[in-house]
Amino acid sequence: MMKIEELKQILKGQKPAPHVFLLWGEEAFLRAHYKKQLVAFLSPDVMEDLNVFTFEGKSYNLNQVDEAIEALPVMAEKKLLVFDDSLIFKPDGRTGAKAEYREYWEQRLKDIPPYVYIIFNEKEIDKRSALLKWVDKEEVCVEFSFLGEEEMVRWTVGLFKNLGKQIAPGDARYLNEITPAGMMVVRREAEKLVAYAGDRPQVVRRDIEEMVSPELEGRVFDMVACILRKDASTALRLLDDLFALKTEPNEILGAIVYNADKLLQTKLMAADGADKNQIMSKLKISPFAASKFLRDCTKYSVEQLRVLVKRLAETDGFIKSNSMDNDMLVSLLVSELSTIE
């Protein structure tokens, strides 16, 4: 796959631009950044409304796509088609695009007129996809993974500087630890913190603690830890905090399942010799989340984690389909899981 540095060379005109670009990966901020640059670089100088076409999701009109590709540019030398989350690089018809879309592109991409440029901006792909392998070989495919922990800390410090404030590296790290979903979320929180700081030149830990709420998965991570060490009272207190924040019971249950499953998978992968980068890539998690799961999975046995994941799977469907009060059901589940030997 192409490196980001090579993509930068294309954007600077130092390398010829291919006709098809695939941008994908978990780091949505970087994908959005380079997609914006590519759209500006590849769009014609005139009549953009008639020469630039955007398609969102996996259910668009293929006849409209064909018409956009086949028709000559209007008073310009090129035209651009942009697809967001088309899912054509996921062969599974349940989670990816339908077979008719994948079959269309398998033929269509081999016959792109010289005046047409296409950008696929995808959050999810399957690396086994034959279509992905073809694009990677014939055109341009760039993966935007989460940055490493130190890179994220440096980027966060620089972000605050660009926003007119200072932040200590340790506080930048703390902000990333409680918002582990990547650069997009960190930027949103940084803008909020800069506004909150007012005339003060520096954002400090106290500002973060007062203004930034840890994401749901982070709060539930602590709850799962309490469940595993049989601390029912603390687990239920954390659950009550989530209810006070008007968090939906099904969201809480989903986050419990997510955290328990990631702990188990991390434990198994680490036992097989996987390093942090491999775990990040396989589980699609940030470096801060990977560090957290690696640290805590050592506290529990594989059997403990298997029992928890199995019990959650058994009760998930029951809770979602039961007519009882869902807050009560989730509370009973947390209490029960905290006492299972």
**Strand pairing partners for 166?**
202
- pLDDT digits over 286-333, tens only? 899 899 899 989 888 899 889 888 888 777 666 666 656 678 878 888
C-beta separation of 38 from 158 below 8 A: no
pLDDT at 316 (0 to 100): 67
In eight-state DSSP terms, residue 338 is: T
C-beta separation of 91 from 126 below 8 A: yes
Q: What residues in the chain have per-residue pLDDT under 50?
A: none
pLDDT at 32 (0 to 100): 94
Q: Which domains are present in the chain? A: 4-143 (3.40.50.300), 149-211 (1.10.8.60), 216-337 (1.20.272.10)
The dihedral built from the CA positions of residue 205, 209, 210 and 212, taken in this order, carries a sign that is: positive
pLDDT at 332 (0 to 100): 83
Coil vs helix vs strand at 263: helix
Amino acid at 256: I
Tokens 């590296």, residue? 169
Burial of 157 (0-12, 13-18, 19+ CB in 10 A): middle
φ and ψ at residue 325, rounded to 5 degrees = -60, 120
- In this prediction the pTM is 0.80
DSSP letters, 12-39, are: TTSS---SEEEEESS-HHHHHHHHHHHH
Amino acid at 113: P
| Cα–Cα distance list, 212 to 42, 145, 195, 237 (Å) | 38, 24, 13, 20
**Strand pairing partners for 120?**
22, 83
